[in-house]
Amino acid sequence: MFFPKPLLVLLLVLVSRLSASAAPLAKPVAPIQRIDPTFWWVGMKNPKLQLLVHGPDLATSRVSLTSYPGVTLDGFQRLESPNYLLVNLTISPSAQPGNLQLTFIGKQKSTYAYELRARTTPGDKSKVQGISSADFVYLLMPDRFANGDPGNDVVKGNRAPGVARDSMYARHGGDLRGIEQHFDYLKELGVTAIWPTPVVDNNMPKAGYHGYALTDYYAVDPHYGTNEDYVRFVQRAHQQGLKVVHDVVLNHIGSFNYLWLDQPAKDWFHQWPTFTRGNYRNGTVNDPHASSLDRRLFSTTMFDTTMPDPAQENPLMATYLIQNFLWWVEYTGVDGYRVDTYTYSDPTFLMNWGKAILDEYPQLGMFGETWMQEAEGVAQQAFWTRNVFPPVNGFKSNLPGAIDFILRQALLESLTKPAGFAEGVAKLYYAVQGDWMYEDASRNLIFLDNHDVDRVFSVLGEDVRKQKMALAWLLTERGIPQLYYGTEVLMKNFSRPDGLLREDFPGGFPGDARNAFTAAGRTPAQQDVHEFVRRLAQYRKSHPVLHTGQLTHFVPEDGVYTYFRHDQQGHSVLVMLNCGAAAKTVQLSRFAERLKGYTAAQDVLTEAIVPDLRTATVPAYSALIWELR
């Protein structure tokens, strides 16, 4: 075919341009998939920052930092996986907020703007307020408390994307907004601090609702909301006079965590040839006769089949974890940390982690899960907190307080077994007597039940008298009282076989048949117990003698345990627990040393005036609480 020359030239130009547009593009710049920590702050006490950079084939890259005043690049480190680099920085006190320009040059080139923020916690007194014995902590499972945003019930791409309220192992739809919508309920009850089970991402195919198999250290679970939602949740709680306890897991992760699926190096996790379940024996850590095998079986095994165990003795993994838990405090301003499975972590790591957290945030409240059986005793529990003991095998705990399982077991035995010289209510006396082993037992969290143990109402045979007596003890004993959601409205059931101790709070979900958040939605018995908690918690809130007053107790007699909370300003509260099935009349002359100077009392629960301090009559399975005058 013949083309005139001008037209031929035009066609050649067009073909050339079309060919160019169809030619393969230059190889795309290698993406940096993520950097942990996701951002950081200037002005932290430790100027060192370790960045874990993740992306395909990063290991061959060199790293450079565009000049940034006050920030130096100390070097970078390749790991076993080709998809990671560690970048080490020093951020001097003179550094200002802004974006660091990091350049990665290898087979490909990539740049990343890493954000340095200005700190807010040092100057904002509403943040990191701490948790103390003045608080009343309400433990709840976000998924099971209230659904405030149905829009996040289904998360596309999640391994368990939807909800199924008829399954105890599926998600039910509760979220942060649902909790926030019931701040008024909690405040009216006398609560001062909220402890949600972990809110971080648990993208697991089964049972991710509980929060203890985290799959992303730096993200809130999308079924609950976004990271920004959580920051706002903490801010709004503070505005309402409520503190927030952040539940953290040091010991294990979920098996779908990206660090496990693409491990930076094999030595970042404890590896056994096949799945090996631990022995759950924390006593092997300080047992002078323990075998090395038993110690390894306690602290270097997977917590469960889907919960890998970070190797915290690896300094790189240790730094990763320490930075993460500093990050959450600075980012959100939470007031305390509850530390899950505290005893299972590497002892040296625990000391370093605790020191790093408390050096930066000395006011942060911290209590750890130190789950003890009765046979292990107070001494073993105290070993895991600040105590009077010398170091053992180089370990000296710096954890401020324990979750007091020993005291809980003693209280329940007081209400379920006959009194004897060392049985029944005597167990409670001896558990409190062991307080000499703690640096400060008032920092311990005391409780009746939680998300892992049978609900107290069921343990007590659904006896409302015993339930109220246990609650009276909880709100007058030394320590930080914690209430499990629904205990105030007689929620019941056992952990086995079907996990019903984690049922939904009635009224927190659309379509619920009744609403226990309101008096109209409670049975008479539920309303009675709810009012009991509200009245006593509000009294405790306004009477510091029950927060910081000294505890003086007397050896139990005839099934009655008597103790006083008193201070140097002359405030004094008398508590009598009758753990027997018959009413008891007690001669008060036995307590003359604590009654000296007082001539009358007022019953805290009934507000009746008690004009005579010679005797006290306590009904069966009940508590008497008098404010001395």
Query: What are the catalytic residues?
Result: 340, 369
Tokens of 350: 């625990």
Dump strand ranges (E) for 46-156.
Answer: 48-54, 62-65, 71-78, 84-91, 98-105, 109-118, 137-140
CA–CA distance, 252 with 242 (Å, rounded to integer)? 29
Which residues make Cβ contacts (< 8 Å) with residue 286, sequence separation at least 6?
A: 380, 383, 392, 393, 395
Query: Is 614:582 a contact under the CB 8 Å cutoff?
Result: no
Query: Is 466:621 a contact under the CB 8 Å cutoff?
Result: yes
CA–CA distance, 386 with 382 (Å, rounded to integer)? 7
Provide the H-helix boundaries in 225-346.
227-239, 258-261, 292-299, 315-332
Q: Which one, of 497, 481, 402, 476, lies nearest residue 446 by Cα?
A: 481
3-state helix/strand/coil string of 391-435? CECCECCCCCEEECHHHHHHHHHHHHCCCCCCCCHHHHHHHHHHH
DSSP tag of 205: S
Phi, psi of 259 (to 5 degrees): -70, -25
Strand order in the sheet with 109-118: 40-42, 109-118, 98-105, 62-65
Helix (H, G, I), strand (E, B) or coil at 578: strand
